[in-house]
Amino acid sequence: MKNYAHEYALSVNNPSKYWLEQSSNIAWSKTPTRGCSYNWESTKGTIFTEWFADGELNITVSCLDKHAQNTPEKVALLWQGEQSDNVHTYTYKQLLEAVCQCAHMLTNLGIKTGDIIALFMPMIPETYIATLACARIGAVHSIIFSGLSAHALATRLNDLKAQTLITAASAVRNGKNIPLLDSARQARACSPSITKTVVINHDEQSSLESDEYNWHTEINNLPKTFEPVIRHAEDALFILYTSGSTGKPKGLVHTCGGYILYASMTHKQVFDIQPEDVYWCTADIGWITGHSYGLYGPLSNGCTSILFEGVPTYPQPDRYWQIIQKYRVTKFYTAPTVIRLLAQAGTKWLEPYDLSSLKILGSVGEPLDPTSWQWYHTHVGKNRCHIVDTWWQTETGGVMLCALPGEHKTQAGTVGQPFYGIKPTLVSATEDRSITDLCITQPWPGIARTIFNDHDAYAKTYFTAHSGMYTSGDGAFLDHDNYVITGRIDDVLNVSGHRISSAEIEGAIVKHPTCAEAAVVGQPHPIKGEGIAAFVVLSADCIETAKLLDEINLCLRSCIGPIAKVDFLYVVEGLPKTRSGKVMRRILRKIVHGTTDIVGLGDISTLLNPEIISEIINKIIHG
Ligand code: PRX
């Protein structure tokens, strides 16, 4: 605690000095002399944040060359396929060579510094290789989660106006091949900017179309060295889409210098990374956790990481325990939804395994409820591992709140204290002070600098509710010195740790021919944390059929992907609306959280149709 208090004070009292000192852990071509400059008040002009503006680097030097030189034979990546005997390892030297070959392939295809490359890829080593190759040549990567539908992929490709797409013939999931290339082709049909698609024929040989290039043929025999293209610290490294409260996904832009420093340092400290560690982050590369703590954090720290293409329950719910035993994993990072799923499967699945290598157990993405915390601590950690529940967001680039190992005691149900340089504050979001916004009062290097193509939305979403502060969109309160996250206070759902906007789901539901109107909110769910509750008003003369839920879910699958699925369907006569026609999701949220008397719902006098409330409550109680 003593170390933390001292270092924390230094970090927040003079952030520029603190982070410039920390930045010496990154390999710069030109060492920065400038720390932070920023404006977070819209009345004073454009909102911006800059770190290390005069620094120059290529982040792959920190992630690859440095270790290829110092520890060339150390394993960087340990890929485990779904089949137990499907394993591939890359040492740092081999990984650097593979990235350089891929960099040549991309430049041979005409890709230039600053171009945007979209990736729609499964959890295979080539995904990491391609991502790092983009960074090597100074291109901006945008990885689109491979579980999204062709429609969702097309929306993102069109926003990016990317010319190149890298994909794989298929992904492997639950023993099945998921045809990624089919989705990519469908998406491309309505994304005219894409002129080249590179395809990894991961498992199967498929014939390619004229604008498609076979990764293996193109990369074969290319040189294994490639000079890194030097970038400015503030140049974009990647764009990553996430959901906001509107139906339009937001492409958050992260920069080279600030992002790599923040991902690297938080990874090192949150997991107390040591040279002998075998680290495993189960997150998909398509999300920010996969970026910061699957790829960039571990490689920048010269760590040995596991990359697993598979799910926790296939062929049986012992898959994770098997992998932990097999590779003697020391640091493990997963999501509460996984913990709940495996806890529900039962301890009989983990009892046969030796999990004694584990030292630190991390969690991210949604609240880790005390029951799951206890299970994780007792059965996985055998009461001797430090549990670190980490709160952060796509926007923050890295962990913001957590109980640092060796510094803080974990308190179940809380996300601990601020990381170095992070100054949180709780600001009242409602007049009755029943909800407080979790805000951050000063910049840190990992913050996303803008929303791609929509800086106004960036300024509005994060910097208008409370001038001069970053507003996270989460509610929180303090329990002693530890923060407790109460969840999103905007119209964003957190389903199994996936962020989905209610507007996006509603848009997909009303594509069903009988659904006239829809409103969705999160409803407590035993495994997913939050399930999707949909209130649907049918078109005149339409009746509810037994197949409605399945049909609605087909609409969601095709518009968004299999991650979006209605769990609770309520067909109602009308939705509670304000006089200006806005649906009051707040009321629906309260009802599905168990408030079934009208008084408990608060002020409903502003509703245009207050009588609808009793009907909705009846529906919830009696079905
Ligand atoms: O609501 C918070 C929740 O996930 C949101 C961020 O989602 P995303 O940008 O997809 O990033 C997820 C991985 C960092 C937050 O606004 N969240 C994230 N971590 C936690 C959490 N809620 C409670 N406890 C956490 N540890």
Dihedrals φ, ψ of 332, to 5°?
A: -130, 135
Does 499 contact ligand 1 (Cβ within 6 A)? yes
Burial label for 356, CB within 10 Å (0-12, 13-18, 19+), is exposed
Distance CA 427, CA 419 (A): 19
Q: What is the pLDDT of residues 218-244, one digit of tens each?
A: 999 999 999 999 999 999 999 999 988
Position 247 scores a pLDDT of 76
Looking only at the bridges linking them, the beta strands covering 278-281 and 250-255 are unpaired
Confidence of residue 201 (pLDDT cuts 50, 70, 90): confident
Nearest CA to ligand 1 atom 13: 365
Q: What is the pLDDT of residues 478-532, one digit of tens each?
A: 999 999 998 888 889 999 989 999 988 999 999 999 999 999 999 999 999 999 9
**Residue range 539-545: mean pLDDT, rounded:** 90
Identify any residues that bridge with 401 across adjacent strands, giving them in sequence order.
Answer: 391, 418
pLDDT score of 205 more than 70: no
Does 365 contact ligand 1 (Cβ within 6 A)? yes
Does 493 contact ligand 1 (Cβ within 6 A)? no
Dihedrals φ, ψ of 425, to 5°?
A: -150, 155
Looking from the CA of residue 394, the nearest atom of ligand 1 is 9
Distance CA 544, CA 521 (A): 20
Angle of helix 125-137 relative to helix 92-108, nearest 10 degrees, comes to 60
**Residue range 93-108: mean pLDDT, rounded:** 98
Nearest CA to ligand 1 atom 22: 366
Q: What is the pLDDT of residues 301-342, one digit of tens each?
A: 999 999 999 999 999 999 999 999 999 999 999 999 999 999
Distance of CA 100 from the midpoint of ligand 1 (Å): 34
* Cis ω before 249 (30° cut-off from 0): no
Residue tagged 């009989």 (tokens): 348
- The pTM of this model reads 0.94
Distance of CA 488 from the midpoint of ligand 1 (Å): 9
Position 581 scores a pLDDT of 78
Position 120 scores a pLDDT of 98
**Residue range 237-265: mean pLDDT, rounded:** 94
Q: Residues 180, 168: contact at Cβ < 8 Å?
A: yes
Distance of CA 365 from the midpoint of ligand 1 (Å): 4
Position 206 scores a pLDDT of 65
Position 620 scores a pLDDT of 83
Given its phi and psi angles, is residue 320 left (phi above 0), alpha (psi -120 to 50 degrees) or beta?
alpha
Confidence of residue 202 (pLDDT cuts 50, 70, 90): low
Average pLDDT score, the chain: 94
Position 204 scores a pLDDT of 55
**Residue range 339-368: mean pLDDT, rounded:** 96
Confidence of residue 251 (pLDDT cuts 50, 70, 90): very high
Q: Which of 289, 391, 483 best tests ligand 1's pocket when mutated (most atoms within 8 Å of CB)? A: 391
Confidence of residue 621 (pLDDT cuts 50, 70, 90): confident
What the block records as the tokens of 417 is 């204290």
Q: What is the pLDDT of residues 135-184, one digit of tens each?
A: 999 999 999 999 999 999 999 999 999 999 999 999 999 999 999 999 99
240-249, 302-311, 365-374: range with lowest mean pLDDT: 240-249
Position 512 scores a pLDDT of 95
